[in-house]
Chain A
């Protein structure tokens, strides 16, 4: 095929822009790439490439404390996600559907946790669970994770609310009216018509909440006790001793899970949206 001449708006085909994009990508991903690369390095020191190995991953798998931390993280993420999705969806629907006094204030207050610096949230949680409402000590697993779960819900559910609300904006109110007209009560109309419409947003919001919870270090650090160490907190404590390739391996695993979940969320949202949009 003959090459088309470069059009006036074909910036992506001009070399200065391509060079610039390349530089940006390098800047963004070189540190991450090196982290992943050296997790496969057959050397205790991490600066020189000595050969390929999976030893560090094996060692990681046999590290009981690390695995415990990993299980804690997954449990916290699962619990906080479930609550966040319900709470976030309800918040979004309430803000979208109803006019009530203090609505503006509520709207602002809900999204505040997104912008409040994490360190402040962390300290606030520390003070709250330390002095205002201490979480009982020495509970059996998984109840000892309660404080962390609550902390994670506070910062994840606003994200769910934001995603669901964006989706609600495209909802055709006549759908709900049609359901009512055909005999459905208020609640039934909501469940039959509104819920299917926001389902992609619920899935995306859930995956978002899950990855946020899994990754979180700052807020967790302030709420975690000696028996409730999460994966990121554990990695941090490992680094304090020495940066071994085992830390690289653990970080790589965490990153891989996050990336996969995010991609899944994007894909699900994209496909479901495309499918439903055609219906309008």
Chain B
């Protein structure tokens, strides 16, 4: 991107005593993005967000907002506002007073304040609840109050700390769509922390995956899923079959990996930058493996290496999930591969029962080869 980044973390670290919460993070977020910080609990994503809000001070490094160094600015002097995980709606104030709080502090004159509060409440569809006290609201409504209260200040960046974690599954789905719609409508840059990968993939325009205080990969959701930078990313996002092997052939337009875990090589239609013999990891997602009954003809492998990418096995376990069934297939080498099979037709009995022998095959574009 050629535009100047709105937020820039420069070599930011945060230590709590001996614990390193954030380890040398350098990251740019651009204007208008819906950016998510994703990672397992304790990975430092919330600390990073809190440093952006001014609620924590980095141990080292700089945080720039719109080109201005904000590292040492107190939270009340930053053009960012936050939706807290607990919503932190003030219980002693009415909904309208909660939303008006920030404007009162900024001494926004009464008529403008009332107008902006009404507008913010309309945005989150709470205009009929202005006079209510927070204890008369549901969890979802309280969250909307928190959202309106932050947006009414017209921040340059809206920070969201696990905003959907306290909602039940149905409401969470609905709020996902609504948050995305609100972001479109107001055009404010959103930075959201979440540990829920589905949430991150569904909502983000770009996503940073963190582990143990370090950035693992910063990419669009589809890139994160299909082109993971390393084993942690591949494993954290979705389900994946990981196979350890060595690089056999490596040409600019194709490569093959041999592994003790599989009785056939894994062929991919792109080069891997590594000398033959380099230890690598191959990941294949369950939905990218095709499953056919053993009495069907053997699926054909890639033209360049027909014996690759096709093997057989026995279904040892099945987990029916409605739309798909996830099969555990044990191959001749004893490796268990997870394979998902779309239930395209209604059938009471499983088409592929436990104990059935099956062909497993995958196209050359399915596997992802990782060096670390």
Interface residues of A (CB under 8 A from B): 172, 174-175, 177-185, 188, 192-193, 196-197, 275-276, 278-280
A278 touches B135 (CB 8 A): yes
A177 touches B105 (CB 8 A): no
B88 touches A172 (CB 8 A): yes
Which stretch from B5-13, B79-87, B211-219 is at the chain A interface? B79-87
**Of B85, B86, B91, B149, which is within 8 A of A182 by CB?**
B149
B76 touches A177 (CB 8 A): no
Docked pose: A280 CA to B91 CA in angstroms:
7
Q: Give the Cβ gap from B188 to chain A, nearest Cβ, in Å.
A: 15
Residue of chain A at shortest CB distance from B153: A182
Q: List 23 A-B contacts (CB under 8 A).
A: A175-B90, A177-B55, A177-B82, A180-B55, A180-B76, A181-B54, A181-B81, A182-B76, A182-B102, A182-B150, A182-B153, A183-B76, A183-B102, A183-B106, A184-B76, A188-B105, A192-B90, A196-B91, A197-B91, A278-B135, A279-B91, A279-B133, A280-B86
Contacts A172-B86, A174-B86, A184-B76 known; A276 to B92 CB distance under 8 Å?
yes
**Of A183, A188, A275, A278, which is within 8 A of B153 by CB?**
A183
Docked pose: A175 CA to B98 CA in angstroms:
11
Chain B residues with CB under 8 Å of A197's CB are 91-92
The answer to whether B129 has its CB under 8 Å from any CB of chain A is: no
Docked pose: A172 CA to B89 CA in angstroms:
10
B81 touches A182 (CB 8 A): yes
Q: Give the Cβ gap from A184 to chain B, nearest Cβ, in Å.
A: 6
Docked pose: A182 CA to B368 CA in angstroms:
45
| CB proximity to A under 8 Å, residues B4-30 | none
A193 touches B90 (CB 8 A): yes
Docked pose: A155 CA to B133 CA in angstroms:
38
Listed residue (A178, A188, A278) with the most chain B CB atoms within 10 angstroms of its CB: A178
**Chain B interface size, under 10 / 10 to 19 / 20 to 34 / 35 or more:** 20 to 34
Given contacts A175-B90, A185-B74, A188-B105, 20 further A-B pairs with CB under 8 A are A172-B86, A177-B55, A177-B75, A180-B54, A181-B55, A181-B81, A181-B82, A182-B102, A182-B149, A182-B150, A182-B153, A184-B76, A184-B105, A193-B90, A196-B91, A196-B92, A197-B91, A276-B92, A279-B135, A280-B91
A180 touches B135 (CB 8 A): no
The answer to whether B53 has its CB under 8 Å from any CB of chain A is: yes
B101 touches A179 (CB 8 A): yes
Chain A residues with CB under 8 Å of B53's CB are 177, 181
Residue of chain A at shortest CB distance from B99: A182
The answer to whether B367 has its CB under 8 Å from any CB of chain A is: no
Residue of chain B at shortest CB distance from A275: B135
Q: Give the Cβ gap from A178 to chain B, nearest Cβ, in Å.
A: 4
Q: Give the Cβ gap from B88 to chain A, nearest Cβ, in Å.
A: 4
Docked pose: A175 CA to B81 CA in angstroms:
13
A178 touches B76 (CB 8 A): no
Chain A residues with CB under 8 Å of B90's CB are 175, 178-179, 192-193, 196
Contact with A along B77-117 (1 / 0, CB 8 A): 00011101110111110000000011001100000000000
Interface residues of B (CB under 8 A from A): 53-55, 74-76, 80-82, 84-86, 88-92, 101-102, 105-106, 133-135, 146, 149-150, 153
Contacts A279-B133, A279-B135 known; A180 to B74 CB distance under 8 Å?
yes
Residue of chain A at shortest CB distance from B133: A279
B134 touches A185 (CB 8 A): no
A183 touches B105 (CB 8 A): yes
Chain B residues with CB under 8 Å of A275's CB are 135
Nearest 10 interchain pairs by C-beta? A279-B91, A182-B102, A278-B135, A178-B88, A174-B88, A183-B105, A196-B92, A180-B75, A174-B84, A279-B135
Chain B residues with CB under 8 Å of A185's CB are 74, 76
Docked pose: A276 CA to B135 CA in angstroms:
8
Contacts A183-B106, A184-B105 known; A178 to B84 CB distance under 8 Å?
yes
Q: Give the Cβ gap from B251 to chain A, nearest Cβ, in Å.
A: 55
Chain A residues with CB under 8 Å of B85's CB are 174
Chain B residues with CB under 8 Å of A192's CB are 90, 101
Chain B residues with CB under 8 Å of A196's CB are 90-92
B88 touches A279 (CB 8 A): no
Q: Give the Cβ gap from B176 to chain A, nearest Cβ, in Å.
A: 22
Contacts A177-B84, A178-B84 known; A276 to B91 CB distance under 8 Å?
yes
Docked pose: A279 CA to B149 CA in angstroms:
16
Residue of chain B at shortest CB distance from A193: B90
Chain A residues with CB under 8 Å of B101's CB are 179, 182, 192
Docked pose: A182 CA to B80 CA in angstroms:
9
Docked pose: A181 CA to B80 CA in angstroms:
8
Q: Give the Cβ gap from A68 to chain B, nearest Cβ, in Å.
A: 42
Q: Give the Cβ gap from A174 to chain B, nearest Cβ, in Å.
A: 4
Chain B residues with CB under 8 Å of A178's CB are 82, 84, 88, 90, 146, 149
Docked pose: A37 CA to B86 CA in angstroms:
55
Docked pose: A275 CA to B53 CA in angstroms:
31
Chain A residues with CB under 8 Å of B84's CB are 174, 177-178
Residue of chain A at shortest CB distance from B146: A178
Docked pose: A174 CA to B153 CA in angstroms:
18
Q: Give the Cβ gap from A15 to chain B, nearest Cβ, in Å.
A: 42
Q: Give the Cβ gap from B52 to chain A, nearest Cβ, in Å.
A: 11
Docked pose: A280 CA to B86 CA in angstroms:
8
Residue of chain A at shortest CB distance from B89: A279
Residue of chain A at shortest CB distance from B78: A181
Residue of chain B at shortest CB distance from A185: B76
Chain B residues with CB under 8 Å of A179's CB are 90, 101
Q: Give the Cβ gap from B365 to chain A, nearest Cβ, in Å.
A: 46
Chain A residues with CB under 8 Å of B89's CB are 279
Chain A residues with CB under 8 Å of B106's CB are 183
